[in-house]
Structure 1
Amino acid sequence: MSNVTEKKSLPSKIDLSKPRYDQSTYWGRVKHFIDITDPRTLFVSRKGLEEAKKLTNDYNSDKIRDVDPEKLWHAKKIIDSTIHPDTGEPVFLPFRMSSFVPTNLVVVAGMLMPNPSIGSIIFWQWTNQSINVAINYSNANKTIEMSLKETAIAYVSAVTTSCGLAVGLTQAVPRLKFLKPSIRGVLARLVPFVAVASAGTVNVYLMRMKEIRDGIDVYNDEGISLGKSKKAGASAVGQVAISRILTLAPVLTIPPLVLSQLEKTKLLKRNPRLSIPFNFGKKLLFY
C-alpha cells in the first residue's frame, strides 16, 4: 500500500525535448518566443550554462527526480536561448536571438530618425542588414551548411536591396507632387519599413536557399530523422520571411507615424531635439 502511495506522490516527468508552451496555439508560440529572446539570458555565465546543462541531463537520465519545475524550465530556457540545437555549441553572443531586442532598438531608432541624410540612410540600412545576415547565419539550420560564397552573395544582395530602396524611395516620394504634402509625409515615414521588409525577405531566401533546394531533416515524435523534405524546407523559410515582415510592421510603421503627429505639437516645435528620446522611447514600448 505504501509503495502505491509513494508512486502516486511522484510528479509526472517533464518532457524537456519539447517546448514548455503548447506550440499549436498562438499564445503558446508567443510565450515560447518571449523565452528564447529574453535579454536576461545574455548575462548567464559559462558556469551558469554548464549548471543548467547538468541539471537537465541529470533529470533526463533519471539521476534526479525531485526538482522544482520552475527551476527545470529556467535551465531549459538558458540552454535553448544559448545553444544551437544542431551543433550543441553556444551561439556567438551578439548574434543570439536573445540579443535581437537590445541590438535592434538602437538600429531601428537610427533608421527612423527624422530628416535623415543620404549617408545616414545608407549607414543604418547597412548596419541593419549586416546584423540580420549574422543572426540568420548563426541561427540557421546547420544540417545544411552554406558556403562563404553563398553567404557573401546573400549579404551583398540584402544590403544592395535595402540601401537602394531606402535611398531611391526617399528621393522619389518628394517628387510625387500630385499627392498632398501630408500624404507624402506619411509615405516618407514608411520608406524604412518597405526597404527593410523587402531586403529582409531577400536576405532570408538567399541565406536559406539550400533548405528550399535540398530540404531539411524531418523528425518523428521520437526524434528520429525520417529524411529530408523540400516541402518542409520551403514552408519553414516562407514562414520565417512572413514572420520577419509581420514583426517589423508595428515597429517600423506605428512609431514614425506617431512621431509625425507629435512633431506638430508646441513642445517638439520649440525643442526639436526631444524627438530623439521620444523616438527611442516608442521603439522600446513597441519592442
Structure 2
Amino acid sequence: MASSIPGPVALPDSQYDLSTYWGRVQHCAEISDPTMLLNTSKDIENAKRLVWDYKNGVIPSMTPDLWKAKRVLDSSIHPDTSETVLLPFRMSSCVLSNLVVTAGMLTPGLGTAGTVFWQIANQSLNVAINISNANKSHPLSTQQLITNYVLAVGASCGVATGLNSIVPRLKNITPNTKLILGRLVPFAAVVSAGIVNVFLMRSEEIKKGISVFDKDGNTLGSSKTAAIQAVGETAASRVINATPIMVIPPLILVKLQKGLLKGKSLGVQTVANIGLIFTTSLVALPFALAIFPQRREVNVSKLEKQFQGLKDKDGNEITTVQFNRGI
C-alpha cells in the first residue's frame, strides 16, 4: 500500500469518506479493480516516486495524478515492505484469482473427489494470498502456517463432504429445496473454513491484545477487548464477503437450468456459471468488503481500565480510541 512509502508527511487514507458506507464502497471498488493488474513494473515504480515526493514535501498537495499513484500502490504493493506483491495474490487480482476456484466449487454434481479437490485448491489459494499480504512485523512460523492450513482444509472438506451426504437423505422437503441446499454446500464449507482460519491466524492477538491509538495516531497500549472485537468482525466479514459470490450465482443457475439453459450442454452451463460468478464478484465484492471500516473507533468505557482517564497532548481526557481491524 502507498502508506508504506517512507516520508514525514502523512498520506490521506482515501479520497473518499471512509466513515460512511458509500465512501468505503467506492474505496474498495478502486483497490479491487482488476484493471489495476495492467500496470507494469515501470508504472508501479513511477507511482512510488510520486508518492515519495508528496510524503517528503516535494509535492505540496494531493493531485489527480497523485491519487492515481496511490490507487496503483494500494492495489499492488505490500503494506509493510513496499515490495510488489506477486500478481495473482494482489488485492486487484481478487476477482480473477478466485474465479476459477469458485467456479470449480460451485460446479453442479461434483462427486466426493471433486469436492475435496476444489476445497483444497481454495484453501491453498487463501494461504498464498495470506502469506503474500501478511503483517511482516509478526510473521507466523512455518509450523503455524502448516497447522492453520491443515485445519482449514479439514474444516472445509469435512463440512462439504458431510453436508453432501446429509442433504440427499433429508426428509419432508421438496426435491427443489434439496437441490438448492445441495448447491449451497460449498458456501457453508468456505464460511466454516474462513472462520476457523481467522481465529487460528489471529489467536495471538486475542491472547496479547492489539494496539489502540488516540486520534493523533499515538499508541496507548494493547487491548484484548479491542482484539476480540477486531477478530470477531473479521470473521463476520469472511461470511459477508463469501455470501454474494457463493449464494447468488448458484441460485440463479438453478433457475436458468429450468428455463434458458434447459437441455444445454455442460460446456454452455459452465460458461454461464463462470459468467454469473464473475459478474457477481465485480458488482457485489466492494459492497461486501465495505461493511466494516478498516479503522475502528470505540469508547474507552468499553475497554480495559488502563485506557480510562488518559489525557491527550493538550490535557483533555481521551474518550475514544482507534484500532486497526485487520483482514
Q: Which moved more, 1:269-278 or 1:110-119?
A: 269-278
Residues 28-76 of structure 1 show CA distances to partners (whole Å, capped at 9, x for unaligned) of: 1111211221222223222222211111121222223377x22111111
Q: Is the 8 A contact 2:160 2:189 kept in 1?
A: yes
Picking from 20, 25, 29, the partner of 2:15 is 20
The match for 1:8 is none
Confirm whether residue 54 of structure 1 aligns to residue 49 of structure 2: yes
Higher Cα Rg, which structure? 1
Query: Contact 2:261–2:269 (CA<8 Å) still a contact in 1?
Result: no
1:105-144 to 2 correspondences below 5 Å: 105-144=99-138
Matches within 5 A, 1:91-110: 91-110=85-104
**Residue deviations 1:69-110 (CA, integer Å, cap 9, x gap):** 221111111122222223333333322222211011111111
Number of the residue aligned with 2:77: 83
- 1:255 is displaced (CA, Å) by 1.2
Counting aligned pairs with the same residue, the percent is 48
Q: Deviations over 1:177-222 (max 9, x none)?
A: 3322111111101101111111111111112222222223334444
In the alignment, what sits opposite 1:11? none
Aligned to 2:205: 211
- Who is 2:240 aligned against? 246
Q: Deviations over 1:111-162 (max 9, x none)?
A: 1111112111111111111111222233233332211111111110110110
Q: Is the 8 A contact 1:52 1:78 kept in 2?
A: yes
Q: Of 229, 238, 242, which residue of structure 2 is paired with 1:235?
A: 229
Query: In 2, Cα distance between the equivalents of 1:225 and 1:111?
Result: 43
Alignment gaps of 5+ in structure 1:
1-13
Tell whether 2:173 aligns with 1:175: no
The alignment of Structure 1 onto Structure 2 pairs a total of residues equal to 273
Name the counterpart of 2:32: 37
Structure 2 Cα separation of the partners of residues 18 and 229 of structure 1: 24
Shift of the 176–283 alpha-carbon distance from structure 1 to 2, 3 Å rule, reads same
Aligned CA-pair RMSD: 2.1
Structure 1 residues 260-269 or 156-165, which shifts more? 260-269
2: CA distance between counterparts of 1:61 and 1:106? 42
Report the TM-score, using the length of structure 1 for normalisation.
0.87
Unpaired runs of 5+ residues, structure 2, are 1-8, 282-327
Q: Distance in 1 between matches of 2:219 and 2:137?
A: 12
Question: 1:249 and 1:211, CA in 2 relative to 1: closer, same or farther beyond 3 A?
Answer: same
Task: Note closer, same or farther for the CA distance 1:17–1:212 as it changes in structure 2 (3 Å cut).
Answer: farther
2:249 paired with 1:255: yes
